[in-house]
């Protein structure tokens, strides 16, 4: 679901409004020193829910990062959502990263599956299969790309705005995860990684791999 970028993600407007309102009330009733911690909280909420526009690479076969963060896994493993062996690339997001999720490829969503689960640190490998998660299986001209939103240690809400049958454009905003998490991308075997473990990546503007 596309929408004009408001710089601040729409998911954050209620949180930001409450944080600023509390800070203002304390500021006017008790003074700036008492209000300072509440202004710090408001600034944290503001930075967490920022949602900047990004340039979309147009290279054929490019798989874009669906999230800001750090690469924590590049491995051949089983894709449990599409029932195949695949190359998995995982992006870990901390609380200071942008948390809107963007489509990694152009394609048609063939399946959306939500799984309730636990809330281990999203930096751990077991988070991929044991944490709360939401998987999109995307058909890219006959090739399959799976993008999985995974909740983290303090993440408690996965938001996804697409359904089976929807057509996605690379870089299109399709979801959001609140507060610290990861995204796993499963690619066809033979895909060529363009990132390395520990590398910092940016949603949409970083190419993870080539199909």
Q: What is the DSSP string of 108-172?
A: EEEEEEEE--B---TTSTTHHHHB-EEEEEEEETTEEEEEEEEE-SS--EEEE---TT-EE-TT-
Query: Which pLDDT score is estimated for 131?
Result: 79
Are 28 and 82 members of one domain?
A: no
Are 115 and 134 members of one domain?
A: yes
User: Could you report the per-residue pLDDT of 5-58, keeping only the tens digit for each?
Assistant: 567 777 778 888 898 899 999 999 988 899 899 999 988 888 777 888 888 998
Are 76 and 22 members of one domain?
A: no
Lowest mean pLDDT among 28-32, 50-54, 138-142, 197-201: 50-54
> What backbone phi and psi angles, to 5 degrees, belong to 76?
-90, 125
Report d(CA 176, CA 8) in Å as an integer.
12
Are 117 and 17 members of one domain?
A: no
Options 128, 147, 181, 202, the catalytic residue = 181
Query: Which pLDDT score is estimated for 9?
Result: 76
User: Is the pLDDT assigned to residue 73 strictly greater than 70?
Assistant: yes
181 labelled catalytic: yes
Are 17 and 83 members of one domain?
A: no
- Specify the pTM: 0.82
Are 153 and 180 members of one domain?
A: yes
Q: Count of domains in the chain?
A: 2
Judge whether 2 lies within some domain: no
Are 159 and 79 members of one domain?
A: yes
Are 166 and 111 members of one domain?
A: yes
Are 24 and 66 members of one domain?
A: no
Are 78 and 16 members of one domain?
A: no
Residue 1: pLDDT band (50, 70, 90) is very low
Residue 62: pLDDT band (50, 70, 90) is very high
- Domain residues for 146? 62-210
Residue 122: pLDDT band (50, 70, 90) is low
């Amino acid at each position: 679901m596309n929408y004009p970028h408001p710089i601040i993600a729409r998911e954050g407007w209620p949180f930001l409004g409450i944080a600023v309102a509390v800070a203002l009330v304390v500021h006017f009733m008790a003074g700036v020193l008492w209000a300072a911690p509440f202004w710090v909280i408001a600034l944290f909420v503001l930075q967490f829910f920022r949602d900047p526009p990004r340039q979309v690479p147009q290279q054929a076969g490019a798989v874009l990062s669906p999230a800001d963060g750090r690469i924590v896994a590049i491995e051949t493993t089983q894709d449990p959502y599409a029932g195949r062996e695949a190359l998995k690339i995982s992006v870990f997001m901390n609380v200071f990263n942008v948390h809107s999720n963007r489509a990694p490829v152009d394609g048609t969503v063939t399946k959306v599956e939500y799984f309730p689960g636990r809330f281990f640190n999203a930096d751990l490998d077991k988070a991929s299969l044991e944490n709360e998660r939401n998987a999109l299986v995307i058909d890219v001209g006959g090739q399959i790309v799976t993008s999985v939103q995974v909740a983290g240690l303090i993440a408690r809400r996965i938001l996804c705005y697409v359904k089976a049958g929807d057509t996605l454009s690379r870089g299109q905003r399709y979801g959001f995860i609140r507060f610290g998490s990861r995204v796993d991308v499963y690619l066809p075997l033979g895909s060529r990684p363009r990132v390395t473990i520990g590398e910092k990546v940016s949603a949409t503007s970083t190419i993870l791999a080539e199909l």
